[in-house]
Amino acid sequence: MNIINLGLIDFHEAYAIQERLVAGVAEGTEDETLILLEHPPIYTIGSGGKAENILDPAITAVRINRGGDVTYHGPGQLVGYPIIDLGRRGRDLHCYLRFLEGLLIQIAADFRVEACRLGGRTGVWTWPPPKLAKLASIGVGVRRWVTMHGFSLNVTLDLAPFHRINPCGIAACPVTSLSLECGGKVMMEDVGKIIAERFSTMLEELLPR
C-alpha cells in the first residue's frame, strides 16, 4: 500500500493523478494507494446529485463520477482518495463504505470527539444528540472494481461555504469540524499521520485480499 500526501493541490490535477492510478491498479502495474491532500476552495457534486441543492446561483459546482450530492472542499479539510482494488477484496462496496466510516470514527475518537454513523446517510456525524452535525463526507466512484474519490474530514476548515448548499443533499444540515468540537486547533499533520498509520491495518481486517 502506497500512501502519499500531496498537500494543497488543485482538484483537477488531483483527479488526473487518480485516473492514472486507477488505470494502473486495474492493469496490475500500480500498487493500491491512499492519496491524502487538501484542495483550494471548490464545490463538487456527484453524478446523481440534484442542482437544487446548490442554494447560491453564483456557485458553479464541478460534476464528477462519484456517489453523493453536493459538497465543499477547501483548505483545512483533509481529503482522502483511496485507490483500492475491490476486485481482489470481495467486491463489496457496502463494506468498503462502512470501512471508511469506521476509520473516520476512530480518528475522531483519537481527538476525543465522539462520532457515529446515521442509518441511510453515508458519512460520519458527531454524537450524541442534540449535537448531531456532519464531521466527514464520503462519496466514491468505482471503475473495474477499483475505487476512486473517497472521504473529506473537516479538521480546521472554515465552515461558512457550506451555508451556500444543502450539504450532501440534506437541507439545513449542520456541519462541524474536529477543531470546533475540540475547542482548539487540531493540526492537519497530526490527523494525516494517524490516518496513514491506521488505514492499511483496518483495510486488511475488514476487506482482506
Is it the case that residue 131 has pLDDT exceeding 90?
no
| Domain definitions of the chain by residue range | 2-206
Q: What is the mean pLDDT of residues 35-61?
A: 97
Q: Give DSSP secondary structure letters for 6-27.
A: EEE--HHHHHHHHHHHHHHHHH
Catalytic one of 95, 116, 168, 182: 168
Query: Is the distance from CB of 109 to CB of 115 less than 8 angstroms?
Result: yes
Measured CA to CA, the distance from residue 83 to residue 23 in angstroms comes to 10
Confidence band of 130 (pLDDT split at 50, 70, 90):
confident
Is it the case that residue 129 has pLDDT exceeding 90?
no
State pLDDT tens for residues 185-207.
899 999 999 999 999 999 999 99
Is it the case that residue 120 has pLDDT exceeding 90?
no
DSSP 3-state percent helix, strand, coil across the chain (nearest 5): 35, 30, 35
Q: What is the mean pLDDT of residues 80-107?
A: 98
Model-wide pTM > 0.75: yes
In the predicted model, what is the mean pLDDT of the chain? Answer: 97
State pLDDT tens for residues 143-177.
999 999 999 999 999 999 999 999 999 999 999 99
The secondary element (H helix, E strand) that includes residue 97 is helix 93-110
State pLDDT tens for residues 94-116.
999 999 999 999 999 999 999 99
pLDDT of residue 119: 86
* Sheet of 62-63, strand order: 62-63, 42-45, 70-73
116 belongs to the catalytic site: no
Q: For residue 186, which amino acid is it?
A: V
> Is 3.30.930.10 the CATH number for 2-206?
yes
Q: What is the mean pLDDT of residues 53-80?
A: 97
How many angstroms separate the first and last alpha carbons of the chain?
A: 12
